[in-house]
Structure 1
Amino acid sequence: MTSMKQPLTLAFILYKYFPFGGLQRDFLRIAKCCQQLGHSITVYTMEWKGKIPEGFEIKTNYPKTITAPTRNNQFHNWVKEQLELNPADLVVGFNKMPGLDVYYAADTCFEHKARNLRSSWYTWTRRYRHFSQNEKAVFGKDVDTVSLLISANEKVNFQQHYKTPDERLHLLPPGISRDRRRPADAESIRQNFRKEFDVKDNQNLVLMVGSGFKTKGVDRALQAIKGLPAEQRKSTRLFIIGQDDPRQFKVQAKTLGITEQVSFFSGRDDIPRFLVGADLLMHPAYNENTGTVLLEALVAGLPVLCTDVCGYAHYITDAQAGDVVPSPFMQEDLNKRLSTMLASDQKQQWQDNALAFADTADIYSLPERAAEIIEQVGLKKTGTQQQERETL
């Protein structure tokens, strides 16, 4: 990916970077694509954990405060001061905040959740006012921020609450990393993986992947394992991977009497091995803008069971590569669907369908398309500024 246009100085802003978050992975891939187009990258963040990419300038400031609103506001003020000292051609944010030229909408519509999924008193809190104001600073009809969306459902929600013009909203295709594609030696990897983790041939391995255990529905998954028929439960294991504190869920597993069936892992960079080694991905999320892991499982040939609130759930239906739990969610429904899928003789057909879909669908080009739009917005902005200077 190369560009013959003038290089831009790009400021990327996100609250925190760590290697295993979905937002963070998208940020890094988009920023690298922008760098490949010839643009310079400076990152402003509260904290950076992990390797610094070559050519990136990282600036950090973590306010020493207790509450998130105060911390965020102090961080915003610091970024504003930094940009006054070192102006950028374009400011690209991955969290909602004032002063952005482009926003990557990894999060769902806050106002929609606050109005529909929270108690009425919530809108009187300081926390609500903070996040509502920040969202309005991005999507309000009287601002100029261009937003990169990854969920058609969320576009509807944003426009319902803010009347954001269509020309400021760009819907991106998914951006599944090609290293998630099922490799030619998948069977060998699968055998070695299951031997390493002592998963027997007659056992079903259910996988969950994602930071934010509460939102991803780990409690629902544990209930579903408990809800399996006794013999099926004995032959089923659940691996849960994510950068989160598992303590309350370990207590829940112990209370349910399924500790022996459940293993927790912190975030890791060998997820493709788990996708090949497992028999089913379960993702019973409460709320999920997209659910990138659904497509990562799909391209690895792993059948999926997820809730319909996931923005990417329709891909599982389109590919005929698993099952989707409809809303309103009922635990007993998830339990039955899990049991049915584990006992089904359609596993090979689901895998074949998934791999065929992975060969034909555009589910990989998100970072490239995002970088193209960022470049277009940046060149338009700098061109306009140049014209204004010449006029003066």
Structure 2
Amino acid sequence: MHFAFAITEYFPFGGAQRDFFAVVTAIADRGHEISIITTGWQGEKDSNWKLFLLEQKTQTNHGRLQELSNYVISLKQQHHFDAVVGFTRMTGLDIYFAADNSFTATRYKGLKWLLPRYRTYANIERTLFENSDLKTFFLTEKQFNQYRTCFNLNPDQSVILPVCVDKSFQYSEQKWQQARQWRKLESTDLNRIVLLFVAADFKTKGLDRIISALQQLDSNKQAKFSLWIVGDGKDKKYKAKLERLPQIEYKFWGGQAELSQFYLAADYLIHPARKEAAGMVIAEALAARLPIYITDICGYSFLVDDDDESVILDENVVVAELADALQAIAMKSSIPSRGMGSPQISYGSRAKICADQIEVWCGQ
């Protein structure tokens, strides 16, 4: 069969991009023909995958998404794809992997419907779900219910994916000890508490909120922390802010293909996201039994209920609550070596689950 996979832009370390690449690879490994539809590609690509790269002329984000949607429809008319699978909401999809929450339910409110960009995003989403044959992967039951408040979803054409991470993230005493040895090689002060932040989009996932919370601590308490930032986001302004906090040791690691050692080496994951449909970093960290501090808007926040060392922060007062939490951590005589994790996490390939279902939906 011939499958086309569409995404706004591919880069190696984004959450949706990781899912995209894994599912495409799983489908390709089964012998299917692969086409990619996108506006940009960074990183390696199988030479057998055909790339349809749209050169965009529009300057606005909503205009570019409309262009890409039109491009998908045009390509469907020219080529005999058995299905187009999208990881960004756009028109013309046969299967949608809902990497984001519903725009209509969460953003299209009040006077915003008057703005062209909001109308464009809402119209694209509405047109997508007007397709009665659309098949959809959802990340959580909460997300499924959110979309269902706005659109007439067929439960038989919807799959809520389990919380599933690769077994490499699963905690073991041996892997934890190895990661701690690696941490000793990378740290200049072994007595500091390592706070870990993992994201491709630093602003959306709240790096500025972490820095603001650290700014509220006195210098003695700031000196208790190291901040490790993993991801290839734009870091210039964050470095400038951290340079004004000389007591805090920090390091920007860039994008990393192997994350498990970071989860095992750190003391806490801090993820005060502004927007997070699920949060694979949350599941991966808890699989490594790393205590986490996250906002209540995160789709996977329900996993935190299983871990006594982890905390859900109120989105409305997140900086104040995080500052209080860091103050309390800094005053502890000792910190927990590990949390309890969550029994709701399974170990295996989410990409395989998706590939199996795509083949079923397409009559394979």
Normalised by the size of structure 2, how large is the TM-score? 0.91
How far 1:365 sits from its partner (Å)? 4.0
Cα distance change of structure 1 residues 259 and 24 upon mapping to structure 2, 3 Å threshold? farther
1:136 aligned onto 2:126: yes
Q: Secondary structure at the match of 1:264?
A: strand
Residue in 2 that maps onto 1:211: 200
Cα distance change of structure 1 residues 344 and 55 upon mapping to structure 2, 3 Å threshold? farther
Residue in 2 that maps onto 1:249: 238
Q: Is the 8 A contact 2:267 2:290 kept in 1?
A: yes
How far 1:70 sits from its partner (Å)? 2.5
Cα distance change of structure 1 residues 339 and 259 upon mapping to structure 2, 3 Å threshold? closer
How far 1:54 sits from its partner (Å)? 5.6
Residue in 2 that maps onto 1:371: 355
Residue in 2 that maps onto 1:314: 302
1:96 aligned onto 2:89: yes
Give the alignment partner of residue 52 of structure 1, picking from 45, 49, 58.
Answer: 45
Q: Is the 8 A contact 2:9 2:38 kept in 1?
A: yes
For the pair shown, the structure with the greater C-alpha radius of gyration is 1
- Greater per-residue helix proportion: 1
Residue in 1 that maps onto 2:152: 163
Q: Secondary structure at the match of 2:233?
A: coil
Residue in 2 that maps onto 1:174: 163
Q: Is the 8 A contact 1:211 1:243 kept in 2?
A: yes
Q: Is the 8 A contact 1:173 1:365 kept in 2?
A: no
Q: Is the 8 A contact 1:147 1:170 kept in 2?
A: yes
CA distance in 1, matches of 2:63, 2:101: 22
1:34 aligned onto 2:22: no
Q: Is the 8 A contact 1:207 1:240 kept in 2?
A: yes
CA distance in 2, matches of 1:223, 1:344: 24
Q: Secondary structure at the match of 2:72?
A: helix
* Partner amino acid, structure 1, of 2:273: A
CA distance in 2, matches of 1:88, 1:124: 36
CA distance in 1, matches of 2:127, 2:306: 36
Cα distance change of structure 1 residues 301 and 54 upon mapping to structure 2, 3 Å threshold? farther
Describe how 1:1-392 pairs up with structure 2 within 5 A.
Answer: 8-53=1-46, 55-115=48-108, 120-140=110-130, 143-182=132-171, 184-198=174-188, 200-254=189-243, 257-258=245-246, 260-341=248-329, 343=332, 345=334, 347-348=336-337, 350=339, 353-354=340-341, 357=342, 361-362=345-346, 364-379=348-363
Q: Is the 8 A contact 1:280 1:302 kept in 2?
A: yes
* Partner amino acid, structure 1, of 2:22: R
CA distance in 2, matches of 1:339, 1:126: 44
CA distance in 2, matches of 1:110, 1:18: 23
Residue in 2 that maps onto 1:388: none
Residue in 2 that maps onto 1:387: none
Q: Is the 8 A contact 2:291 2:338 kept in 1?
A: no
Unaligned 5+ residue runs, structure 1?
1-7, 381-392
How far 1:229 sits from its partner (Å)? 4.6
Q: Secondary structure at the match of 2:150?
A: helix
Cα distance change of structure 1 residues 47 and 327 upon mapping to structure 2, 3 Å threshold? closer
How far 1:321 sits from its partner (Å)? 4.6
For residues 341-365 of structure 1, what are the alpha-carbon distances to aligned partners after superposition, in whole Å with 9 as ceiling and x for unaligned?
Answer: 4527561351xx22xx46x742544
* Partner amino acid, structure 2, of 1:246: D
Q: Is the 8 A contact 1:279 1:302 kept in 2?
A: yes
Moved over 4 A (4+): none
CA distance in 2, matches of 1:137, 1:333: 40
* Partner amino acid, structure 2, of 1:369: I
CA distance in 2, matches of 1:269, 1:302: 19
CA distance in 1, matches of 2:357, 2:258: 31
CA distance in 1, matches of 2:357, 2:277: 21
Unaligned 5+ residue runs, structure 2?
none
CA distance in 2, matches of 1:74, 1:176: 34
How far 1:331 sits from its partner (Å)? 2.3
Report the more deviating stretch, 201-210 or 34-43.
34-43
Identity %: 27
CA distance in 1, matches of 2:356, 2:115: 39
* Partner amino acid, structure 2, of 1:157: Q
